[in-house]
Structure 1
Amino acid sequence: MQTLSNMLERLPMKETHRLGIPILPGGLPLVGHAPFNLGDSLNFLRGASAKVGPIFWMRSFGSEMQLVCMGEPGFELLKNRVTSSEFIRDQSPEFIGDALLSQDGTRHRNLRSPMSGPFTPRGLSSSGASALSAEVIEASVASLPASGPFSLLTETQKFALDIIFRVMGIDRSEINDFNTNYREFILGAFPLKLDLPYSPRWRARRGRAWLDARFSSLIAAARGRPEMPGTLSALLAVRDAEGQPLKDDDLISNLRLLALAGHETSASVMAWMGIVLAQRPDLWEKLREEATAAPGLPRSPEELKRHPFAEALFREVLRIYPPVSATAREATEDLTLHGKLVPKGTMITIPLGTYGYDPAIYPEPEKFDPSRWMGRRVPPSAIETAPFGGGPHFCLGYHLAWVEAVQFATAFARELSRRGVRPLLAPGVAPPKLRYLPFGQPPKKTLIEFVPVV
């Protein structure tokens, strides 16, 4: 039986190319390709590339189109040599505002450079953030249900939020209030201009006001406690190129987004790790051997080196289940992509998640194989860490996510080994598929359970 998309492809279309670049067929009236790109984004984009090539227009709502550029030429755009990220400020003035994500050039470098230090492996260790993360993860994993099926994503979301707030110096008693106001604030990500009382935009502004006021209080308190562990105190100690401390407004706008993105993506990665282990006893045994041989959870760059398999598991999960499917840039000059001229001002989508499935980079890309990361003498290349972006806007929290994932895998294996059990998908639960709404998370209905080791 033909699908609706296949039937629509057979209908005559007025326009098949724009600027010599193919328009992806199969769009629906009014909504274009949006329904097909929603959820199963990676398979949709990979299928589109196989059908019309590595650069194409995709129909959006109404008459709008967006240009998609696959492959290495797309990844090169992330370097922002011929593109810009500043359009984000105009699209989401209240949600993104003047955060690092919407800045380029000198302004971005002057702010990014001092903020980077506390988020390196060495910075996380010296500030005590790695130790705080290990403490939260160890306690959280120990509290996982002893019996019965449960949603691992629900659990990882709880302690990923706990981690990001603890390393920022936020008291655990405030997590519920922060969570409530973040749910309000995230409504600002939707491009709805209606601004009436209790409308999404109104609620987002209210949530942001609460968050900003609370972050302002936390910064003031931290200034009076330079010995306080965590990234917030470390950020307050850094100085810019002129020897000046970071301004409160800059700290607030970036901490607000770091806390939001940091816990959602980390929760996803940790949940996928546990679900993969529940399906692969061979991988579980390798992790268990490594984790139980270690004296504890890693808290420094040197200790991370004792956990190569846990790191390999983290990187392979990122490759197969990237939390973010795509990003975008605006062309700041005319440029050529895949032999096609793209004019200045064009908005270009770069599908970050598809790079993990490139057979030129990863042999047998559909195969989940952590061994591809083992025994390497060089760190992952820029394109191998594409799930975290690239160029000047590479994710500031990359190293924290790396540390958290290795700590989680280690704690998970040690705790279950202590209990004499191993993870398994609950009876009747099918292997989950990657979906984006908006992050690439496993469905909450994907349940696991712990079973005795025979």
Structure 2
Amino acid sequence: MIGHLPILHRDAIGLLRRSSSALGPLFWVNFGFAHRRLFYVGPDALDVLRMPEVVMDYPTNLKDVVGRSMAMHDGALHRHMRSAINPLLGPQAIAKGAAAVIASVISARIDAWLQRDSIAIHPAMRELSLEIIFRVCGVPTEDLPAWSRAYRELLLGVYPIPGHLPGLPAYRSRRARAWIDDRLRALLALARGGAGAGGSLIDMFSRARDEEGKPLSDQELIDNIRAILLAGHETTASILAWIVIVLSSRRELRDAVYEEHTAATDTPAPSSFKDAQRFPVTSAIFREVLRLYAPGWFIFRRAMDATTLHGRRIPRGTPLAVSPTSVGYEPSLFPDPDRFDLSRWKDRATSPGPVELAPFGAGPHFCVGHHIAYLEALQFQSAFVRALRRTGLVPRIQGPSPRQVYFPLGHPTASTRVAFHRE
């Protein structure tokens, strides 16, 4: 009945790696409750994301989470939404004001953490990233705990457990979605009436037009804003949490980040996507953490026509899945893949290619907010190591070694804590 759900929760990538070693790059995974997917793993698997005969295919439980956002669609409807939203989240648009917002929120949060004996890493990063994306989007932050609870409840819809009785994941997810949507609808009404935060993303979304000049419908706006707020804090929170774990465990990396940012006297922390290119150590830490601990570890697709994968004929209608995270463990691409190694990214002659950017997706559905995530991670590292030096504190991981769990999205175990001690 529950299939591979227990092992997927605690060791999804391990299961995929063992299965690939034993069975080859194509094998079935049972998500439980009669939901099976043919996984395709390996360097060539990302080609599936660009094949016109293979389309998005969220199961019903995930459709309730993402709604009619652009993540759900291909073809003309996807282009309609993507062309309206892309200009609002590109590197040029983000540089106009988001960097200052991100820096101020990060500094305030880190100062508060360092006044405590210890913090639970992932919950703290979730609060930080939620405040950042809300501030960037122009969502009032007075009720962040309620929003945070609602999004955690919404994500329960990831579990394919049938039934809609009170207390079950589907019921709680739908109730949370209704709560979120009511508040987003009210914010859009304020923006259209001129009473919202001028220049915020909510304000710009309300006036967005696609490449043909057509506006997004109210439901398209609600679904896309809900999805962007979700992805903009849950995925980033996981990456920031692992960055804290890595920096807390390795003093030489803290020293390298500090030296790199203090040497950049004109711009001690990147204020734009272009600025970020000048911080190779900090960038490498972000990319290596993303390679090993990408939060979105699977992407669902369906073969709408018969096709061939790895020499095998795949019938029309076959439910498929690709794991961008598993690509990061391919020895042919990343020798000794379990080792944390910044040399994979530092002093490169070329920028990361599509395979190396796989955690952000590929093809038409490449992550629309990857510039924000990159800038946020680099600013966080700079602020974190500078604050530690300023206060004379040393971070230490408490308890057992942190590990990644994979549902609803990949993240370090919630009990993982970091304590701050005097040198």
User: Normalized against structure 2, the TM-score is what?
Assistant: 0.92
Name the residue aligned to 1:219.
188
Name the residue aligned to 1:322.
294
Is 1:171 matched up with 2:140?
yes
Is 1:366 matched up with 2:342?
no
| Residues 14-93 of structure 1: pairs in structure 2 closer than 5 A | 30-61=1-32, 65-85=36-56, 87-88=57-58, 90=60, 92-93=62-63
| Relative contact order higher in (CA < 8 Å, ≥ 6 apart) | 2
Is 1:231 matched up with 2:206?
no
Alpha-carbon displacement from aligned partner over 1:159-188 (angstroms, at most 9, x marks no partner): 111111111111121212322333343343
Name the residue aligned to 2:274.
302
Q: Is residue 37–residue 45 contact of structure 1 (8 Å, CA) maintained in 2?
A: no
Q: 1:378 to 1:248 in 2, by over 3 A?
A: farther
Which one of the candidate residues 52, 68, 90 is aligned to 1:120?
A: 90
Name the residue aligned to 1:261.
231
| Cα distance between partner residues in 2 of 1:222 and 1:172 | 16
Q: 1:292 to 1:151 in 2, by over 3 A?
A: farther
Alignment root-mean-square deviation, CA? 2.2
| Cα distance between partner residues in 2 of 1:64 and 1:419 | 52
Is 1:103 matched up with 2:70?
no
User: What letter matches 1:122 in structure 2?
Assistant: Q
Partner SS for 2:331: coil
Q: Is residue 116–residue 396 contact of structure 1 (8 Å, CA) maintained in 2?
A: yes
Alpha-carbon displacement from aligned partner over 1:338-367 (angstroms, at most 9, x marks no partner): 111111110111122111111221222221
Q: Is residue 69–residue 223 contact of structure 2 (8 Å, CA) maintained in 1?
A: yes
Alpha-carbon displacement from aligned partner over 1:403-445 (angstroms, at most 9, x marks no partner): 111111111011111112332223xx33312221222211232
| Residues 389-404 of structure 1: pairs in structure 2 closer than 5 A | 389-404=361-376
Report which stretch shifted further, 313-322 or 170-179.
170-179
Q: 1:98 Cα shift? A: 1.2
Is 1:186 matched up with 2:158?
no
5+ residue gaps, structure 1? 1-29
Q: 1:204 to 1:68 in 2, by over 3 A?
A: closer
User: What letter matches 1:287 in structure 2?
Assistant: V
Name the residue aligned to 1:4.
none
**Percent of residue pairs identical:** 37
Equivalent residue pairs, number: 420
Partner SS for 2:143: helix
Q: 1:196 Cα shift? A: 4.4
Q: 1:311 to 1:96 in 2, by over 3 A?
A: same
Name the residue aligned to 1:156.
125
Report which stretch shifted further, 183-192 or 35-44.
183-192
Name the residue aligned to 1:22.
none
User: What letter matches 2:223 in structure 1?
Assistant: S
Q: Is residue 420–residue 452 contact of structure 1 (8 Å, CA) maintained in 2?
A: yes
Q: Which structure 1 residue ranges, 4+ long, deviate > 6 Å from structure 2?
A: none
Alpha-carbon displacement from aligned partner over 1:311-342 (angstroms, at most 9, x marks no partner): 11100000111112211110111111111111
Name the residue aligned to 2:407.
437
User: Normalized against structure 1, the TM-score is what?
Assistant: 0.86
Q: 1:276 Cα shift? A: 0.6
Q: 1:244 Cα shift? A: 3.0
Report which stretch shifted further, 188-197 or 417-426.
188-197
Name the residue aligned to 1:11.
none
Is 1:353 matched up with 2:325?
yes
Name the residue aligned to 1:20.
none
Q: 1:48 to 1:450 in 2, by over 3 A?
A: same
| Cα distance between partner residues in 1 of 2:32 and 2:344 | 40
Higher alpha-carbon Rg: 1
Q: 1:196 to 1:70 in 2, by over 3 A?
A: closer
Q: 1:285 to 1:398 in 2, by over 3 A?
A: same
User: What letter matches 2:145 in structure 1?
Assistant: N
Q: Is residue 169–residue 232 contact of structure 1 (8 Å, CA) maintained in 2?
A: yes
Q: 1:67 to 1:150 in 2, by over 3 A?
A: same
